Structure 1
């Protein structure tokens, strides 16, 4: 009898050990599943996108690791250009921003062997402190084909990519929207502590500041396309890029101002067209006079040589380019009897 009890006791002990082991294994699997669920991005999060463009012997792949991000969250933009041997690639001068996105860091991997071809790669680390729908603009990359007797210069342009920036505060109450009173509520009158009075004073000050900000935004004035362009040119002169040797940045900024002016003045998508496409567009239309078309052609061609062919002009050439841009804006601005189709918002 005692032997049977001992055997039964051993069986129950082994069964208890097996049960504990099973519970432990189940707990480990559950914990692993939770950890895996935490590391998997939520459905609908911004997914990476990629585009490929071609120009002559060059092929460019434009890639972003996400198409949606929160404020201050990093976005990685990669430009990868593949060219044959004896073709060199020149990326533009490193900018401080791309559209409304700030450039946090730039990394280059240049002239990497890739079979019988070469790879040239630039990686931008971007972030934005503004929420809403934004755009990574097109980026022009120059290349020089040295396979023939005479080097041939060309430009390949990346695709513009829409980016959605969301705020961590989205969905919360808007402090500028006042709510109706619900009625009178009797509260006992008690002497508040000192720190409560400070909180009340701070909240009142914050409410007044918010109200003033809303009023200021509503009372903003409108600048014409001409006024905006001339103001931006004055600002560019004050930054003294040419005097500091930043010639490519100067010409890039100046041509951007002229292109945006043309877009707002004549409703032509100049910032999204290459120089050849834009010049062909204005030649086929009646927007600009022949004289202004030739003036603009000489201006943009000289700027492209500086930006993409590593040509370093003299300081006097930069001043002449600025005067040409000012002359073009002044002569093509609408008269007083005409209305500016796209005025630029300017805070008062």
Structure 2
């Protein structure tokens, strides 16, 4: 009892015991020290400038570091534009999280700051809130200081005007250097041109693109194809249907190129109708050509079998049709070798 309470006698002469102050402090420390030690173990917060002094308008970083248990949420203070009335925030970096040990994290957040006020400036303690056993706790950083120095001004010298731009000294060496570089550039361009020219000549590439040959006249193409058909002797080999198909295809392509009449995917009657109304058509060609196309249709679609004379007459009519309607240079006959013989020599269609 005497270790904690001390005996005393009151003013009335009654004995008693007093509670010493040091004993009260001892009880307080024994009661709250585990809690303070626990908080210190759980979270450690620091805030500092990268340097203790900057020039007026200079920049530095303000860094906040929090060491905490993994899984605990610590609320950072909301710093947007300023740290204090005289320290501005220019920008912030994303928070950097580093695992420092078993179930321990270190979170670092940096802010780029500046100040345009000379003197010593302070950032007051910043609050950080967190939950500890469902009880909200708040830890604060220490007050941080930075000193801002203004540039030294010699007032005795007065105020000077803005300096003019510095000129680049131009000497003979400078001029010669640029002349040599220009000559070297021209030589390189000339060498590249000759090199590409030699490669082009070695590859046999023409200097100019070859001009397209003029299109062969329609009657020349048709006559050549009819001649080739005659030399193949298709009907003599029993290929009668192919023979008449080739004749009509040659004539159809010729009419399309010569008269500008669309013939593909059209019937013989439609072609004859357009040909008869063409101002360039020779009198009588529509009727005779109709007999040729009709005979060819009978062979191709009705399986008709004409005689040898009809085979020869069909090809001869095709030759005469092309020659009689072909376009020749001025001064030559437009009737061709056979002239306009459609009225005097007709197809023999009598079996």
TM range (shorter): 0.3 to 0.5
TM-score where L is the length of structure 2: 0.35
- Greater C-alpha radius of gyration: 2
TM-score where L is the length of structure 1: 0.35
Tell which has more relative contact order, 1 or 2 (C-alpha 8 A, sep 6+). 1
